[in-house]
Structure formats: C-alpha cells, structure tokens
C-alpha cells in the first residue's frame, strides 16, 4: 500500500523551496503559506461520492477529492495569482453567484499540497479544515477507492483522538504564522472607517473549536496584557475581535506593510 510519505515528488519546486538562499523560492514559499491561511478562512476540502455515468445501478461510487476556493468575481485576480505562480488548479466561473472558483484536484493535492505541508511541518489551523484534511489523508493512506468503504463515524472518532488542541500562545509562535495570518486576513479580515471617522480593523471566525484561533490573533496584536482577556461570542458561536485604538492600528499597519496582503483586501488596507 502506498502512503503519502512514500509518494514521489516529481515537481522540482519541492526541492527548490528548501533553498532559502533563493529569493524567488522564499516568495513562493510565502505565497503557499498565505494560501493555507486563505483556505482556512474561505476555502474547503470537498470529499464525497463521485457520480457514476453508466447503466449499472449497482456500481460503487468512486471518491471525489478537491480543494475549493470561491471568491467574488472582483477578486478573480487573486485566484489567478495562485494558479499562475503555484501552477496548480483550474478556475471556473459561477455566473449565477457572481463568483469565480479555484479547484485544486487530486493530482495537485497529492503531488504539491500534501508534500509541501509535510516537508515544512505546516498544518491547517481552522478546526473544520483540519477535520477535512484528516479525512483526505485517511482515504489516501488506506488506499480507499469507493465511497461505500468509508466509515465516517469511525474516522471522526479517530480525528477527535488525534487532533492537537493548539493553544493560542503556541499558534502565534508557529514559524509560518505571519504568512498564515496574512492569508487568513485576506479571507476573513475587514478594514473600514466608522461613521465617527475612526479607522477600524476586525476579523471574525465561527465555532467554539476555533476560539483559540481568534484568541491568538487578539493576543498577537494586543500583547501580553491581553493574556487573560476573554472573547465572548457575538451570536451562534461567532467570535469577532476588533481594533480601533491608535497603538493597535499602528501595530496592524506595520505588520501588513511587512507582510503583504493579497487581492481586494490589499486595496482595502491601502485605502
């Protein structure tokens, strides 16, 4: 049985990314880490039964695996950036929703996404994405070909036992945190001016399982004095952190001037 760790890596990019002396390689590595942050915010890993187009009604369903990132049509250039720079995926238009979608298919997942994450010790940080990625790896490592062979209850129990509970203080010390936060802000952050004329930055995330994620961002920006600050959910377990004090905004501006945002969020920040 072939496991993920034994997969061949035919793309020279994997080897090049380990060479930190090459500026282009560093920029590419930064972009991949930002992509993981964007996917944690706006993407999803789709795993489900693949329709069988034949006359045999008893045919077993194969498994559809892809990573999907859907953005408003005005942010199409961001999807094109990932496609052209990383050379993965395919973009299609969802006209009825005014969106474009980047689909990263199984071949690119096996040959690019998984090896890069494993070789660089990078993880998804959003709880749902971690759960989806665990299912994906379970299917691949166990060479499961048909949807009917998947026991979702068993896999969910395995995930709960093996999933690391990342503390907020450990999250901000991850070596890829800055790039991840830049990508995550590209997906979930908001820069705007209030009616009273004050500049304002906020970022939101849902689910009790993601509390430490939003707490990490708050702690990263506010510093050690916010260690014991509790973030209360707004509604339906939605957590939001907001910043409008000058010292916080100075920190935020300095951070994103040194960690470039992507797409329309970059324009919003610059304005």
Domains and CATH numbers, the chain: 4-164 (3.10.28.10), 170-270 (3.10.28.10)
Residue 4 has pLDDT above 70, yes or no: no
Are residues 112 and 86 in contact, defined by beta-carbon separation less than 8 angstroms?
A: yes
Are residues 70 and 94 in contact, defined by beta-carbon separation less than 8 angstroms?
A: yes
Largest CA distance in the chain: 66
In this prediction, residue 20 carries a pLDDT of 41
3-state class (DSSP) for residue 88 = coil
pTM score > 0.85 for this model? yes
Banded pLDDT at 56 (limits 50, 70, 90):
low
Q: Which helix (H) or strand (E) holds 100?
A: strand 99-105
Residue 9 has pLDDT above 70, yes or no: no
In this prediction, residue 112 carries a pLDDT of 95
Higher model confidence: residue 193 or residue 155? 155
Give one word for 121, left, alpha or beta, with left for phi > 0 and alpha for psi -120 to 50.
left
In this prediction, residue 76 carries a pLDDT of 96
Q: Which residues contact 265 (CB under 8 A, 6 or more apart)?
A: 185, 186, 189, 191
Residue 133 has pLDDT above 90, yes or no: yes
Give me the mean pLDDT over the 65-72 stretch.
97
Q: What is the mean pLDDT of the chain?
A: 89
Rounded CA-CA distance 118/194 in Å is: 43
In this prediction, residue 90 carries a pLDDT of 97
Are residues 267 and 224 in contact, defined by beta-carbon separation less than 8 angstroms?
A: no
Residue 41 has pLDDT above 80, yes or no: yes
Alpha-carbon Rg for the chain in angstroms: 20
CA angle 66, 103, 42 (to 5 degrees): 90
The structure tokens listed for 30 are 């930064």
DSSP-derived secondary structure letter, 51: P
In this prediction, residue 196 carries a pLDDT of 85
């Amino acid at each position: 049985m072939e496991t993920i760790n034994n997969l061949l890596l035919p793309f020279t990019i994997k080897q090049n990314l380990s060479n930190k002396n090459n500026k282009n390689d560093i920029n590419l590595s930064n972009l991949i880490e930002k992509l993981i942050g964007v996917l944690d915010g706006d993407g999803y890993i789709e795993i489900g039964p693949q329709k069988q187009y034949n006359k045999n009604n008893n045919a077993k369903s194969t498994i559809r695996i892809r990573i999907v990132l859907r953005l408003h049509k005005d942010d199409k250039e961001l999807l094109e950036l990932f496609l052209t720079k990383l050379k993965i995926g395919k973009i299609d238009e969802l006209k009825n929703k005014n969106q474009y979608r980047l689909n990263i298919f199984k071949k690119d997942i096996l040959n690019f996404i998984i090896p890069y994450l494993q070789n660089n010790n990078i993880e998804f940080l959003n709880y749902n994405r971690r759960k989806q990625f665990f299912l994906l790896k379970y299917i691949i490592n166990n060479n499961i070909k048909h949807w009917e062979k998947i026991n979702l209850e068993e896999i969910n129990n395995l995930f709960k036992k093996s999933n690391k509970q990342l503390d907020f203080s450990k999250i901000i010390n991850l070596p890829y945190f800055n790039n991840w936060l830049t990508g995550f802000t590209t997906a979930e952050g908001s820069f705007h001016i209030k009616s009273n004329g004050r500049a304002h930055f906020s970022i939101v995330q849902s689910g009790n399982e993601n509390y430490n994620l939003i707490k990490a961002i708050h702690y990263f920006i506010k510093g050690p004095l916010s260690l014991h600050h509790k973030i209360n959910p707004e509604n339906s377990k939605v957590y939001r952190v907001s910043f409008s004090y000058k010292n916080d905004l100075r920190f935020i501006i300095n951070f994103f001037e040194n960690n470039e945002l992507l797409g329309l969020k970059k324009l919003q920040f610059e304005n």
